[in-house]
Amino acid sequence: MKIVFATNNKHKLEEVRKITAQYPIEIVSLADINCQDDIPETAETLEGNALQKARYIQDKFGLDCFADDTGLEVEALDNAPGVYSARYAGIAHDSEANMKKLLTEMEGKVNRNARFRTVIALLLNGKEYLFDGIVKGVITSEKRGENGFGYDPIFIPEGYTQTFAELGNDIKNKISHRAKAVEKLDKFLSETITH
């Protein structure tokens, strides 16, 4: 079974391929189907953006597809940056600038609770399905660690003392928001494929 993952993010693709490795599913990227389009993400919610991306691919290429959108929701900032996480400091999708802006806005804040939330929209056999994954944690006061991407160096997941960037990909791939959402997608696909 071949399914398009509507992303150009190599980190995400690698993460999802590792998580789904035990299933008879081939995950192909936008590059694999020769899609160079700048797919719109103009919805006000993570669910809306994920569906928008998946529908775009299915409409244009006629392929079963899934897309995700992820946001970092910080309690003290009224759940910002949320749906704007990737372009928080501007449209350049600059992780360094995004982290810097977030840390600046968190200065002096006692409540550092936050959560990463991933929503996956799957379009399969003409039907739409949504899966979500959440990991709670706290925002650090400075960057720590070299691994990961995005906000990983400033987020410590619940139950740990290190940031995602310090924990490394093996642990992150087991406990992350994306892992939880992909596990739900996985379970659904394995039941759908085997029945």
CA distance readout (Å), 69 to 116, 127, 195: 11, 19, 29
- Show the tokens assigned to 190: 């394995």
Give the CB-side neighbour count of residue 134, counting CA atoms within 13 A. Answer: 7
Name residue 66's beta-bridge partners.
5, 122
Residue 181: count other Cβ atoms within 10 Å of its Cβ.
25
Query: Of the listed 38, 59, 68, 69, which one is catalytic?
Result: 69
- Show the tokens assigned to 165: 């960037």
68 is catalytic: no
Encode 150-175: b = buried (16+ Cβ within 10 Å), e = exposed. Answer: bbbbbbbbeeeeebbbbbebeebbeb
In degrees and rounded to multiples of 5, residue 152 shows phi and psi of -50, -40
Helix axes 177-194, 10-19, angle to 10 degrees: 50
The residues carrying an active-site annotation are 69
